[in-house]
Structure 1
């Protein structure tokens, strides 16, 4: 079987195994307590040795874990940053979301393929906001998915000279916090649903900048956006169709003090839409969970220009998410 097909066939098991290992502290123990054999690791974690060893074999085959000649398991060096809870690139919350939320919605694909996606389908945010625990879990997933890459994106966007950043739909502020850490003169406001407000600033990385981080509660469909000289949409516009994106960008144009700019930070398809894999996979998730899609850089620029922004540019990061910038000039 070709390796690409083999990974696809057995991919059903990969994410749940990762999630279970995260939840039971397998990776934390291997990182903080050091490599261990399966029996020793099972003893540390007080878990069933046979089940653990079978999981470790899957993780070894995936290239997440490696086993030394003496039988001791350890994480591969390139996996460590993403599975270490202390690292800003930690993906545990996102893995949990894929396992507990996204996987349960995949059965919809059959209906969508046969009949199309119902225009009247309930909003995915109904699930997110169903209770305080669900909201906190979702916000944790968004922080884990966003804060690490936001540090690169903030540097790439260049915040020097910006006075007031408005992070639209900014969740608990992963991009806002990353931006504030780059420039001590910057102020930032997170704009999101009122229920998110109490969670903003909870993360340790936010504490040094808490005095410059504000929150405004509202609904970006019903309300105008707070004013600033830089408005950011971090992984927001891929949730919505083109016309809705233009409406939101027009609100950003009105709220943007000239000369100012808007930042779109999102996954980008290659121009020929052949990849990358993460963008293609999450493009399908957007169809299942949201009402949007992922786009090429040119498609985002077209949306910016429809909303009135000009002098658009693309700044590409080393990872999956990049920055598309539109400028608002003085009248």
Structure 2
């Protein structure tokens, strides 16, 4: 018998696959509202009963779902916010991105270990050329970013000090999840998503869906090549962790130039503990950044150092109850 931690690590790839398939085929949506045995689930969703039974047995063994004495499966209450596709905290979009994008790139790690990342990546397309290669991939990536960002943004916005701020620019802001959370909580605020041109139609959809005409707009640009729109507040959500310290410092210097005097920059990202021994989601995504991008996750002190090097002062760190944290720097 393997130690429990090792057992879960070895067999985790099967659990991830089962989670993704159960989400994709509506199993979690059904179990979030009712308990049901395998045959009823299969009949209602049009699924093969034998294959479904094996998936459900695995998910039950991992503790993701539970089965009562009559053989009916259901989602435990603590799992519903994360597995019900109707929930703002659903991980379904992220699972879809992992299965359809990340897993295909993980074999690159073998080459990185023996030849180094630079040598292997020289023959590969740039990260966002892959993520935005087709409309389907773009949509899947943006859906994953929304699920990872919107709910925790609603928790972080009150810590951002946006009362009295007239305008913010979200750099690489995807389809606008942070902007929507900020605008919902801050009357009088306007926001701009600064993103690659391919993202423009998705921001337009967000404006329409949330009724943000006149408050949320889109500016097409490449944050590596272009200066940022002038603003009182520059936001980076899950951006700087995708790039090296040198690139991150360059982006923060652009943010300093874009900010009005008295303005601020918001870095919202996963943070390592000071001793870099966790938390686990940060360590996982730190490895993911190695194959999907060019960056790494950092400690709060490392981000503060980058901010100060770019000219920001009076840096603050604010923690959420989720994986995404907030570091603020001010332009005095």
TM-score between both structures, scaled by the size of structure 1: 0.96
What SS does structure 1 have at the residue aligned with 2:256? helix
Counterpart in the other structure of 1:284: 287
Q: What's the Cα RMSD here?
A: 1.4
CA distance, structure 1, for counterparts of residue 225 and residue 204 of structure 2: 25
CA distance, structure 2, for counterparts of residue 63 and residue 210 of structure 1: 44
With 35-44 and 82-91 compared, the bigger mean Cα shift is at 82-91
Shift of 1:201: 4.4
Counterpart in the other structure of 1:248: 251
- Of the three residues 172, 185, 200, the one matched with 1:169 is 172
Gaps of 5+ in 1: none
Counterpart in the other structure of 1:6: 7
Native 8 Å contact 1:232 1:263 kept in 2:
yes
Counterpart in the other structure of 1:24: 25
CA distance, structure 1, for counterparts of residue 243 and residue 331 of structure 2: 23
With 261-270 and 130-139 compared, the bigger mean Cα shift is at 130-139
Residues 204-219 of structure 1 aligned to structure 2 (within 5 Å): 206-219=209-222
With 10-19 and 149-158 compared, the bigger mean Cα shift is at 149-158
> Does residue 159 of the first structure (1) align with residue 171 of the second (2)?
no
What SS does structure 1 have at the residue aligned with 2:222? coil
CA offset digits 1:227-263 (Å, max 9, x no partner): 1111100000000000100000000000001101000
Native 8 Å contact 1:181 1:209 kept in 2:
no
Counterpart in the other structure of 1:73: 73
Shift of 1:100: 1.1
CA distance, structure 2, for counterparts of residue 125 and residue 107 of structure 1: 18
Gaps of 5+ in 2: none
Native 8 Å contact 2:89 2:151 kept in 1:
yes
What SS does structure 1 have at the residue aligned with 2:164? coil
Counterpart in the other structure of 2:129: 126
CA distance, structure 1, for counterparts of residue 16 and residue 213 of structure 2: 35
> Does residue 273 of the first structure (1) align with residue 280 of the second (2)?
no
Number of aligned pairs? Answer: 328
CA distance, structure 2, for counterparts of residue 260 and residue 309 of structure 1: 10
With 290-299 and 133-142 compared, the bigger mean Cα shift is at 133-142
CA offset digits 1:85-106 (Å, max 9, x no partner): 2221121111000011111111
- Of the three residues 147, 152, 159, the one matched with 2:150 is 147
What SS does structure 1 have at the residue aligned with 2:154? helix
CA distance, structure 2, for counterparts of residue 252 and residue 291 of structure 1: 20
Native 8 Å contact 1:156 1:317 kept in 2:
no
Native 8 Å contact 1:173 1:201 kept in 2:
no
CA distance, structure 1, for counterparts of residue 100 and residue 288 of structure 2: 14
CA distance, structure 2, for counterparts of residue 113 and residue 177 of structure 1: 41
- Of the three residues 234, 245, 248, the one matched with 1:231 is 234
CA distance, structure 2, for counterparts of residue 22 and residue 45 of structure 1: 12
TM-score between both structures, scaled by the size of structure 2: 0.96
Counterpart in the other structure of 2:203: 200
Q: Which runs of 4+ in 1 moved over 4 A?
A: 203-206
CA distance, structure 2, for counterparts of residue 27 and residue 87 of structure 1: 11
